[in-house]
Amino acid sequence: MYNTEYSRWLEASFDDADIMPELLKIKGNDDEIKDRFAVSLKFGTAGLRGVLGAGTNRMNVPVVKQATQGLANWVKTQGGNQTVAISYDSRLKSDVFAKTAAGVLAANGINVRIYDALMPVPALSFATRYYNCNAGIMVTASHNPAKYNGYKAYGPDGCQMTDDAAAIVYAEIQKTDVLTGAKFISFAEGVEKGLIKFVGDDCKDAFYKAIEDRQVRPGLCKSAGLKLVYSPLNGSGLVPVTRVLNDIGITDITIVPEQEYPNGYFTTCSYPNPEIFEALKLGLELAKESGADLMLATDPDADRVGIAMKCPDGSYELVSGNEMGVLLLDYIAAGRIEKGTMPANPVAVKSIVSTPLADAVAEHYGVELRSVLTGFKWIGDQIAGLEAADEVDRFIFGFEESYGYLAGPYVRDKDAVIASMLICEMAAYYRSTGSSIKERLEEIYKEYGRYLNKVDSFEFPGLTGMDKMASIMTNLRENPPKDFAGYKVEKVTDYAKPEETGLPAANVLIYSLEGGATVVVRPSGTEPKIKTYFTTLGKDLAEAQAQKDKLAESLKPVLS
């Protein structure tokens, strides 16, 4: 079967000049042909994501055309504006795939609003809402290595597409022949016909205004003298992040020169993920040289941000996603109460795998903290519910432990632009009071207890990887562990059972252990890996870390 499809591709002609040389190179190599053609990239609620290359199991122009035709078929049933917004980041072929998608939509009579240069995920979410679009497309593979690209689909609310809509689009994709099934006109023809238009300055300016309106202490940064080192990690954050920071008065910004401009090869860090040290290494070196108060880095599609904070002894320390989520919740709540801008009955939202320390902080400030499934669309879903009840102003903050933050309802996905602004404002505020982010974090730990949150990943590569992951999760359900490292399991919450959790079904298991620790086991929805999340609570960091290490060691045989 896969050899037949390979032969069909050999006989086709392509807009993408890289496809045919690759097809010829693998001729006669059954393993390579099978890897590219035995399956097709699956379209889910996160859209498509895969390695660049030739074949149905790769990201390329034919696969993007096929996916977009499936999306177009769905859009045509939706009425409304018949418009789709498109943005893209710095990844290899992101601009090509974005213009290809625009050409398919235009050929189907659907209007397109596309950014004239790379812009991040939150800008796409904003444009989708601003132009009352039926859908949005973001061409990105987020923080994956350079060999990947992807295609995220958004609904009319600017939130990642719902399961139901994604299932319909996927069914339409499967009806569409990957080589011949998509309608297509060139980008230039779409522009000439008036079907493809660029996103206007009015939309861009409205995006920046929406972010800057969410300052907690407006004007503070102009006189605080904050010294910043920033890296866009060769992605889409450079223009929007520096624009907003300059607007609010942060002008002493040193950009990491090797990571300043778009570069889809990510030559300075093989894994452009602000969660890992290697991605922040060059920025840290520059921060130490310049004595910066803060170093921050946004990922290629600028929906997530990682930071290193300066400590009182002059050293720099990375801040985890959970710690930053708690720091921002604490800063926003305290600041808005002080300024009289806190809404009545404020709401914050976090994912179920994020730190319970946030619950304690929220309770302290009288904020209702809701926990939702992993995936920022579920935070967006909570905002949508508040909006439907005409209470959207109650939403003050949402976060995930994986470095995603949002403060305000102007978009429905995580936003590294507003997160960068608020982190810098928070650093400037503590600096102006003679304190620092580090000192505030230690005060929080002193007040609420020394929580430690750590995430480990187990990878399952190859065609059998997903099957292996499924069998591990089945085994955990059929043979539930009674303890981990001698810590008795007091409660198991299985999120595959919505009748027990009150949330939509999800493949997540949470083990509550004696003494208050928790272990979460969750297969990734976008990568062949199982993630384990540990929360431990000790009298100090060493005690919390020791318990985490024991728990992690006990899980290894279960996940091998």
Q: How far apart are CA 99 and CA 343, in angstroms?
A: 42
Q: How far apart are CA 197 and CA 203, in angstroms?
A: 13
- Is there a contact between 292 and 310 (Cβ–Cβ < 8 Å)? yes
- Is there a contact between 82 and 76 (Cβ–Cβ < 8 Å)? yes
Q: How far apart are CA 523 and CA 44, in angstroms?
A: 15
Note the Cα 202 to chain centre separation in Å: 26
Tens-digit pLDDT profile for the chain (560 aa)?
A: 899 999 999 999 998 999 999 999 999 999 999 999 999 999 987 899 999 999 999 999 999 999 999 999 999 999 999 999 999 999 999 999 999 999 999 999 999 999 999 999 999 999 999 999 999 999 999 989 999 999 999 999 999 999 899 999 999 999 999 999 999 999 999 999 999 999 999 999 999 999 999 999 999 999 999 999 999 999 999 999 999 999 999 999 999 999 999 999 999 998 999 999 999 999 999 999 999 999 999 999 999 999 999 999 999 999 999 999 999 999 999 999 999 999 999 999 999 999 999 999 999 999 999 999 999 999 999 999 999 999 999 999 999 999 999 999 999 999 999 999 999 999 999 999 999 999 999 999 999 989 999 999 999 987 788 889 999 999 999 999 999 999 999 999 999 999 989 999 999 999 999 988 999 999 987 678 999 999 998 889 999 999 999 999 999 999 98
pLDDT of residue 368: 98
Residues serving a catalytic function are 142
pLDDT of residue 247: 98
Bridge partner residues of 452 (DSSP) = 536
Containing H/E element for 81?
A: none
Rg of the chain over CA atoms, in angstroms? 24
Tokens of 332: 């926003």
Q: How far apart are CA 100 and CA 441, in angstroms?
A: 47
Tokens of 190: 């779409």
pTM of the model as a whole: 0.94
Tokens of 111: 């209007």
Q: How far apart are CA 154 and CA 86, in angstroms?
A: 10
Residues in the chain: 560
- Is there a contact between 536 and 527 (Cβ–Cβ < 8 Å)? no
DSSP label at residue 200 = P
Taking phi over 0 as left and psi of -120 to 50 as alpha, with beta for the rest, 92 belongs to: beta
Tokens of 1: 């079967």
Token pair 């996103």 is at which residue? 199
Q: How far apart are CA 374 and CA 381, in angstroms?
A: 12
The C-alpha angle 358, 364, 366, rounded to 5 degrees, equals 100
- Burial environment of residue 559 by CB neighbours within 10 A (0 to 12, 13 to 18, 19 or more): middle
Bridge partner residues of 198 (DSSP) = 114
> Closest by alpha carbon to 322, among 150, 551, 548?
548
Q: How far apart are CA 397 and CA 405, in angstroms?
A: 7
Would the CA dihedral through 38, 40, 44, 49 be positive or negative? Answer: positive
| 3-class secondary-structure state, position 319 | strand
Bridge partner residues of 537 (DSSP) = 451
> Closest by alpha carbon to 228, among 310, 303, 299?
310
Tokens of 88: 């893209």
Long-range contacts of 533-537 (CB under 8 A, 24+ apart): 533/353, 533/401, 533/453, 533/454, 533/455, 534/452, 534/453, 534/454, 534/455, 534/456, 535/355, 535/356, 535/451, 535/452, 535/453, 536/451, 536/452, 537/449, 537/450, 537/451, 537/452
Token pair 């003298």 is at which residue? 225
- Burial environment of residue 25 by CB neighbours within 10 A (0 to 12, 13 to 18, 19 or more): exposed
Q: How many CB atoms lie within 10 A of CB 167?
A: 14
DSSP label at residue 53 = S
pLDDT of residue 46: 80
Q: What is the edge-to-edge ordering of all strands in the sheet holding 404-406?
A: 368-372, 347-351, 395-400, 404-406
* Residues 6 or more apart in contact with residue 377 via CB below 8 angstroms: 45, 159, 160, 161, 162, 412, 413
DSSP label at residue 152 = E
Q: How far apart are CA 264 and CA 260, in angstroms?
A: 12
